[in-house]
Structure 1
């Protein structure tokens, strides 16, 4: 065995000591894609939130806030109103003012009714210091809870949840205005313009058409809004009849409600339910008592109602095929028989 010198032994000892101090390498866990994707998503979410702040105000879908962003559609709506330089325009739900600024270019004054204070502030800032500032008046609040001011024309990208009440609020507004150009959910709009025989023809159709001329203006796709609604939209033009027909709306609507309860059934069938006959009998007795009229000893409300239907020739008619004139004739015949609906 070869001899080891003192120098060689010292060198080997130093090498062993050096190797003893080397720490083992820590082997990491496999690459965690889930953990990284979560971090990335969180970072992306924050980025999206930041970018949305720069886009504009956050819209409240509970208030039906779907802002019209297509300028061609906005201009088309304003054009259909045929505005004059002397017109005062009521705009319901102006939002950020995309429609408003186009109306201001052609009208004498715009009264914008906005329920959301944030959007009202945005609209104020948009026209502030500009040539149209003096022509804009903003009413903050719910349009359905306030009296409407005088106006010549109404233009609205209508919040869909107030479509029906706003329509009839406008129709019964006095003094009578020239026209209203209104954006609605497409199905609601088509109900307004439906004619006898159409599948959507019903109580809403005849109630609106009794007091106004209603025409379909244009279809508007959901991608023309921000954020996009879940349904397609349409624009209609409503022109109130001037003078309006001398018809008591509560009487009219009371009869129409019965007639269209099952619009594809015969009128005789719609008037036969016990609850309907009981209501008409109570109304008949109340009317006779109020006007000091004698009630026949063998009075039978069912017989009396069916006689009216037979005499007018509408016993076997169906509401889905009856026009406004038919319904007015029927209401007049019931009144001649002292039968009332409210």
Structure 2
């Protein structure tokens, strides 16, 4: 779910949460395949922590702690920090960083893939995010039974701008509409490539994600399924997306399954294409472009399809 366009450079994303000049930077050869570009500007690190609005009672999940300079700033404010790290060298280093200090008791380091890991409860997430897991991380956080109150996440600049794009913007896409259904997303700051060592090949941005409360009373799978169809060609008419035989076959199967569950009779002249066309025309969505539609437009369309037992999951 939540797939985004393939990046030009998979190893271009900075991460690691590390500041403080040259210390620690020459200990390891950085694995840029894991996005290891060390953040060297302490003001940016402090800004990230400040924007997270950490309370003394909060548990903070940090993704990719690197050698731990950002981790130590978080530990100053949080009740506990759960740091998830893929690189065993970095996991050992951040553990060593807190050893023998009062913060040691507040730090838990998990070695592994944050996307695959079963995460304990946490209130806030802070991450310098490798591009490869940008979208999966966002949707994992939003789909947790108890999503974090605030997530302050650093991404490639273009990905971050897609998250905050509005209908009519050039970068507005399925990712934009999907995330904005479940959360309020704000752009916090730009982070130039020269703030990292070694400098990455792209610029970065920090965004703040705050889940809506209460959560919208719709199925994520249904919402995402509808958006997949509508945004298959975002600048073509929405009706064009529904003309694909692959789409109509899936909707036909879903319709038959829904009718079966409700013990509804299906007539011999049943025509899924005619039903889809009728819904699109009655809602006035047939000739609209997904790139111009907002949350209310898609909700109206989803509700109308559900009224005639057509589902997307």
In structure 1, distance between residues paired with 2:69 and 2:59: 18
8 Å contact from structure 1 (residues 90, 111) kept in 2? yes
In structure 2, distance between residues paired with 1:217 and 1:339: 40
From 60, 66, 69, the counterpart of 1:89 = 60
* Structure 2 counterpart of 1:338: 309
In structure 1, distance between residues paired with 2:52 and 2:193: 22
In structure 2, distance between residues paired with 1:111 and 1:186: 26
The reply on whether 1:288 has 2:259 as its aligned counterpart is yes
The reply on whether 1:64 has 2:41 as its aligned counterpart is no
* Structure 2 counterpart of 1:166: 137
8 Å contact from structure 2 (residues 24, 67) kept in 1? no
From 319, 324, 328, the counterpart of 2:299 = 328
8 Å contact from structure 1 (residues 69, 98) kept in 2? no
Structure with the bigger RCO (C-alpha within 8 Å, sep 6+) is 2
Task: Describe the SS at the equivalent of 1:201.
Answer: coil
The reply on whether 1:117 has 2:88 as its aligned counterpart is yes
* Structure 1 counterpart of 2:169: 198
CA offset at residue 177 of structure 1? 2.1
| Aligned pairs (5 A) from 1:1-342 | 55-342=26-313
In structure 1, distance between residues paired with 2:124 and 2:284: 41
8 Å contact from structure 1 (residues 88, 111) kept in 2? yes
Larger radius of gyration: 1
8 Å contact from structure 2 (residues 83, 110) kept in 1? yes
**Given the two structures, how large is their TM-score scaled by the length of structure 2?**
0.89
Cα pair distance change 1:224/1:293, threshold 3 Å: same
Task: Describe the SS at the equivalent of 1:239.
Answer: strand
* Structure 2 counterpart of 1:15: none
8 Å contact from structure 1 (residues 108, 135) kept in 2? yes
CA offset at residue 234 of structure 1? 0.5
The 4+ residue runs of structure 1 with deviation greater than 3 A are: 51-54
8 Å contact from structure 2 (residues 51, 152) kept in 1? yes
CA RMSD of aligned residues (A): 1.7
Aligned residues: 292
Task: Describe the SS at the equivalent of 2:217.
Answer: coil
Task: Describe the SS at the equivalent of 2:28.
Answer: coil
In structure 2, distance between residues paired with 1:178 and 1:196: 26
CA deviation map 1:250-298 (0-9, x unaligned) = 1111111010011111112221222222222222122212321111222
Q: In structure 2, list runs of 5 or more residues that go unmatched.
A: 1-21
8 Å contact from structure 1 (residues 68, 98) kept in 2? no
Q: Which has the higher helix share?
A: 1
Task: Describe the SS at the equivalent of 2:102.
Answer: coil
